[in-house]
Each structure stands twice: as structure tokens, then as C-alpha cells.
Structure 1
Amino acid sequence: MLPFFKKKKKSGGDTAVSAQDVIQETADAGDEEVYTELALHPSWNLPMEQQYVLRFLNNELPPLKPNQISLSGISLRREDNGVVVSAFVRHSLSKPIKIGKATLLLLSADDAVIARKEFNLEEMGELPEKSSRPWNFLFENATLKTNNIPEEGWKLAFELRQKHRLELEESWEKALPKAEKDKLRQLVDQLEPPKPGEVNFFGLQAKLTEEHGLSVTVLIRNGSDRNIYFEQLPLQIEDAAGEVIARGGFALDCLEVKANTTKPWTFIFPKELIRKSEPDLSKWKISIVKQS
């Protein structure tokens, strides 16, 4: 008998998101509440007693709103190789659905992340319309963020990727006029976001200074799911002819670019670092110099 069949009380909480955010599908309009029916996986041949317990737990669950997918925690247990979470995967759509790969978070009662892992939820098979399917999720030890695993009040949740957005350093926030900030936000919204885990630079403006240096403004784009920090950044600039016109290192005092955001920044190469007196800046490229 599996542990979550042993008692008629859940130890985990409930989370729900829009189906659009998980499977890019919706089906129903309106606001009528939806109660989900238990739908065991075809390979689960359970005794009637165990089915009764699952049915009882499912019937105790709150109704869903239209077009929702929900994770309802049943039980959690610690194993030698990690933490096994049992939960109902529920949805309120009036048609069968399949869920593909999804990143799930194991959260504490105060929403602190206990574990994070990508699962292939296709293994659950097709979920009948307005159904609730119990499933087991193994979070290996390597995915755990803490050894403090709560017995009660935890939750299982979908990690939804936030829309890539502009974030300004405080000094920029204060100095830029609203119109300029709006233009930057519009540009960031129009650009294709960086791929997950990718960090890149997008050139905005390059111009020679009165002191015969080179001022370069770029967008630092962080496509990863964690904040990144720059302390030293060796950069070079190539002009339209493909020639390196400036190269140098910049101390950035731990410049932070938050997860899934873009931050504009200006780098000024002094004249001592300029390698070409009359560069063609009609087209240019910035890149990080690889250290040998």
C-alpha cells in the first residue's frame, strides 16, 4: 500500500493556475465552479479500499474555476534518494488534456522553495475532462534547496515563466525621462526574449566622445531563472568593417541583472583603449573577450 492511501487526510495544500499558462489552451467561458472526478491512470490496478480513500480525498477538494489546472498535495515522505510527493493533478476544462514538460516547485507554507525540478508530465497520460489524477513526484536530493522538509502545510506548484521585462538601475530610474523609459520598455517588449538560460548583449548606441573615447550603450539580457552579477567584464567593440576598434576591462562593482530581465548599461572606453581613430559606427558589435 502506498503511503498516501493510509489516511483520509491530506498534508499538503492546493495551488491553481490558468490552463493557458501550462498547456496554452482554454475551453470554457463563464465563472461556474467545477468539481473534478477521480481518474486513475489505466496502469494503476488498486484494491477497492485504496480507491475509496482516494475518492474520499478527491471529494473533499475545493471546486476549480473554469480553465484551471491545479496541484493538490496529498502526502510527502523523505526517502534515501530524495523526497516523494503525492498529489492530485486536476483540471476544469471540458475536454481531455495532455501536459508536457513542466517545472514544479515544492513550497513551504510561506512559499519558500524547498525543491525545484522539471518533470515530463506526459507520463501521466491523457487526463479526461474535468478530472483529478493522483500522481507521485520524486524530487531527488540534488534538487532540494534545504534539508528542512515540513510534514504539513507544504504545496506543489507550477513554476510559470514570467514575461521578460525591463529593469532599470536606480540611477537610471531617476535620471531618465519617462518618455525614454517608455521607449526602452517598448523595445524590450518587441525584441524576442533570450532563450532560457541565455545571457546576451544587444547594442543600442555607440558614439565617440569629446575626449576621443567611445561610449557604448547596450541591453544586458538575462534569460536565466536566477539573478546574475558582473564584477569584471572584458569587452571589445567591432565596427562595420569587422575591425576591433576598442578593447578593455570594466569593474562593475557587482552589477546585478535579475532573472528574466533586461538592464541597459553604458560602457565608456577611454581614448587609451581606442584602436581606430575613425571607426565606421553605422554597424557595430559588442562581445565579451575570452580570457586565455
Structure 2
Amino acid sequence: MKDNSKQGKIVDTEISIHPSMEDRISKFQKECLVEEAEALPPIKEGEVDVNTDFIFDLGDKYEVSVFIRNGLPKPVNLEKIPFKVVNKKEEVLGSKIFDLREMGQIPPRTVRPWKVYFDKEDIKLGENDLKDLRIIFDTRLKAERTINVTFENLPLGIKGEHRRKYEKFLQSLPLLRLGQVSMTAYKVEKTKDDGIAVEVVIRNGRANGIDVERIPLSIYDSKENLVASGIFYLKDVKVSPFKARIYSFTFSKDELIREDIRLNEWRVDFRLNKNISAGDEVGHEK
């Protein structure tokens, strides 16, 4: 992928580890990734490219480790990207379209390590050796216009690791398209009064602020049993353009449908359960 408005100058790129991987790789692994990224061929300003690190045969599929570099002076987000597999003669042995939204936003002038998987039937290996194969972008490469939002309502008293957890969670969420609004549950826990509190992150990808007037919530436990369901009617709740806000919604003990609650695993659905009446306001928000 190329941006022809500014091209030709060689740019230096730094490693960019996805936030969800930061705590899962060792210092040694990161140092190895840095060394491998530094050994990649030069990239020019205005280019986005992919380089193959290795291809493993996992038995039923191929694991491909790649480096995707962003030579643009702005972040880039990749969505449905066609990759082609070629050999030393540049012959195409296979292709597949990957959804790379989980890669998140790749900062300017950085290189992001990632892994993709090809099924065996996707690649006609023949007499070719895996070490001689590489992955290239198809000419249909598409970058989507997405928005990077930041919190606007985290209290100043939230500092250190507690604050970083909120910000890390926000960065790990799926990409937010321009014009999109999303709601995601951050945490579900019991209250001191044996009720249940749900923390929800609301993201606004629109160029104008939004008013949030009602939020239906249904909570299910680890066995998919309905725990609570209702609609929260809100007053004066606004989310600014390209911002995120976090709110806590609480069901009291009397509003819970069952008492034998298992919240070691949970699921929040932003719909009213079909067996629940929509007439009454429930709980409270803050």
C-alpha cells in the first residue's frame, strides 16, 4: 500500500507490540523481535508493507509470523486484507483474506509483529520448501477509516496501575469505525449489598456528541443462566466526539433473578431479555 503524496525517503521504524501481548511476552522475546525488525529491508515514507518471519507446519494448518510496517506519518488500521503466498520464483501458491481488525491501530513509523494461519488447502505447496515461501499483500489492500478514542471521564484519583488497566482495556477493544458508537462491558462484580454492578465503556466515533438516554442490560453467568435484566433510563449523559466514557450500572439484590450466581465468567448483552417486561426502570447508574 502506498501514499503517493510523499514518497522516496527512507524511514526508521520502531517495534510496536499489541497491548494484549505486552504482558505475555518476555523481555528476551521482545529483544529478539526488535533485532529481527531492525534487520528488515528499508521502507520508504508513504508505504505499508509485510515481511515474512517464518512459516511453521502445525499439522492441520500453517502458522505464518509476519511483520507489518507502517511507513506513514499517521496511524493505520487494516481490516479485510488479502494475502498471497509466493515462492522464490514469485509464483502464487495460495491466497486468503484475513480480518486484521484485531491488530488494532498501528502507530506511525512502527512495525507490528503478528501471526496469521492458512489452512492446508489454502496453499498448494507442491515441491516447494516452506522456508522459501513468503507472504505479500494482494493489490486489493484496504485501509479503513477508524477512530482512536480516549477516556474523558476517568476521575483524577484513579492513578497508576488501576488507571493503566482502564486505558489498556480501551486500547484492546475492536477498532471503532468513523461514525460508529459502541458499548462494551468492562467488569461485572457483586456489591457490598449483594447486588451486581456492571461497568460499561461507551465509545463515540462520531464527529458530534451523543446523548445516552437508555441502556438495556442483561447479565448471564458462566452457565448462561440469566442473572439480571432491565433498562436503565439516564439523564444528562453525554459522550463527546471521539471520546469514551465509563459508567457503572447497579442491580440491587431485589432486582436479581437468581441467587446462586457464578460470576467467575460472565456475559453482558445490551438487549433486554425477551422474558423481562420493559416497563420499569431498574437499578441506578453513576
**Alignment TM-score, normalising by the size of structure 2:** 0.46
**Alignment TM-score, normalising by the size of structure 1:** 0.45
